[in-house]
């Protein structure tokens, strides 16, 4: 496979950069310090806009009554289709429909910057453009991500985003253990992605991209106040029976179910609710992230059982529905908040039980 890296004729450079490590068969720029997003866009040769341009075709030769007539080659408009064109060199990147919405390269970087609330916080590792600039890839690390106890290894994972301007595929954001420095590592990243969010290039895509980091469990994760809370929760032991109780209380759908829980009538609970509780409890007991020192048998683990259920277990109709539920005032967001409040009360009361009030 060729390198497929975009070469920018106006700058005489290949459109790719990497921090400290040679990139893309030595064709990309190597920089020594982590750049800001404004710098990264320039280093990576991604400082161009993409515009939707009306599409035209021309008429060809035609024959009438056995005679060749002069061809007028009239310009014919192609309805409902557009060419995506690079603003800096007029390269045609692809043909798209009328409902296709462009996510500019700077919007992709804004996704990363939103996680830490400022462009100097995220650690951009690599970025670049493939083909004529129709596909872009970015990898970054998170600075100072909350570490609970001895810390999980999320800081050693890369946050990865790829999007296209040619009408193919979705905007994809994910975690990957692989830093993208060549086509092979790009392929490896695509195979090893976790916590994946895919967004179609449709109306509202930009807003959904801005919210995507929350779906990936990265909302407010850099708060030192939260870090203190979670570290405290990691030291508080919780029995398995209480973990199940937290799940029941946090995921409780209505007053009728709550009243049954309050009087201990578990056999009268609906099968649907019992199945949800069992699924979340199973996740709490067997998922790898729930078996770490900080989560196994702790209050922090109990809280993660509820949030992890919606992130990793619950089936949603599609990524739009998941986004709505977890971020935009939906059910999962409300249940996570309820779990947080229950765990906060548990930590304060130190009585070893989740309270029914």
Written as six digits, the tokens of 215 are 């779906």
The distance of Cα 214 from the centroid of its chain, to the nearest Å, equals: 8
* Each residue's pLDDT tens digit, 32-81: 898 988 999 999 999 999 999 999 887 665 545 445 555 556 678 889 99
Which pLDDT does position 352 carry in this prediction? 62
Q: Which helix or strand (DSSP H or E) is residue 298 part of?
A: none
Query: Which residues in the chain show pLDDT less than 50?
Result: 1-2, 63, 65-66, 150-151, 153-156, 220-222
Nearest to 307 by CA among 271, 332, 324: 332
**Could you give the CA distance from residue 308 to residue 217 in angstroms, rounded to a whole number?**
9
**Could you give the CA distance from residue 201 to residue 36 in angstroms, rounded to a whole number?**
26
161: phi then psi, degrees, rounded to nearest 5:
-135, 135
Which pLDDT does position 1 carry in this prediction? 38
**Could you give the CA distance from residue 40 to residue 91 in angstroms, rounded to a whole number?**
22
Asked if 131 and 171 touch (Cβ cutoff 8 Å), the reply is: no
263: phi then psi, degrees, rounded to nearest 5:
-95, 5
Radius of gyration of the chain, Cα coordinates, nearest whole angstrom: 26
Query: How many residues in the chain?
Result: 357
* Each residue's pLDDT tens digit, 230-245: 788 888 888 888 888 8
Asked if 246 and 339 touch (Cβ cutoff 8 Å), the reply is: yes
Where are any strands of DSSP class E within 271-332? none
CB atoms < 10 A from the CB of 218, how many?
Answer: 21
325 exposed, middle or buried (CB, 10 Å; 0-12, 13-18, 19+)?
buried
Which pLDDT does position 211 carry in this prediction? 76
Nearest to 259 by CA among 124, 356, 169, 114: 356
C-alpha distances out from residue 195 to 95, 215, 225, 230, 251, Å: 30, 9, 25, 21, 22
């Amino acid at each position: 496979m060729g390198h497929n890296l975009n070469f920018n004729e106006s700058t005489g450079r290949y459109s790719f950069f990497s921090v400290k490590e040679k990139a893309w068969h030595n064709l990309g720029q190597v920089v020594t310090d982590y750049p800001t997003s404004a710098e990264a866009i320039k280093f990576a040769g991604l400082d161009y806009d993409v515009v939707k341009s009306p599409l035209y075709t021309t008429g060809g030769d035609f024959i009438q009554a056995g005679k060749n007539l002069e061809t007028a080659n009239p310009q014919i408009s192609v309805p409902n289709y557009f060419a995506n064109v690079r603003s800096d060199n007029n390269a045609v990147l692809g043909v798209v429909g009328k409902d296709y919405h462009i996510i500019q390269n700077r919007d992709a970087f804004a996704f990363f910057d939103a996680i830490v609330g400022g462009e100097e916080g995220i650690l951009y590792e690599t970025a670049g453009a493939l083909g004529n600039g129709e596909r872009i890839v970015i990898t970054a690390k998170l600075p100072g991500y909350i570490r609970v106890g001895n810390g999980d290894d999320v800081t050693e994972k890369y946050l990865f985003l790829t999007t296209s301007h040619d009408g193919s595929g979705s905007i994809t954001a994910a975690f990957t253990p692989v830093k993208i420095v060549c086509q092979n590592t790009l392929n490896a990243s695509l195979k090893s992605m976790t916590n994946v969010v895919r967004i179609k290039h449709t109306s509202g895509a930009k807003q959904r991209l801005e919210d995507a980091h929350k779906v990936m469990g990265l909302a407010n994760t850099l708060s030192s106040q939260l870090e203190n809370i979670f570290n405290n929760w990691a030291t508080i032991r919780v029995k398995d029976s209480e973990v199940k109780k937290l799940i029941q209380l946090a995921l409780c759908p209505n007053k009728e179910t709550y009243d049954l829980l309050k009087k201990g009538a578990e056999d009268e609970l609906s099968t649907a609710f019992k199945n949800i509780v069992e699924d979340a409890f199973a996740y709490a007991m067997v998922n790898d992230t729930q078996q770490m020192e900080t989560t196994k048998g702790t209050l922090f683990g109990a809280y993660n059982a509820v949030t992890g259920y919606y992130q990793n277990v619950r089936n949603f109709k599609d990524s739009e529905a998941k986004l709505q539920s977890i971020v935009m005032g939906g059910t999962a967001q409300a249940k996570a908040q309820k779990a947080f409040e229950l765990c906060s009360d548990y930590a304060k009361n130190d009585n070893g039980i989740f309270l029914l009030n």
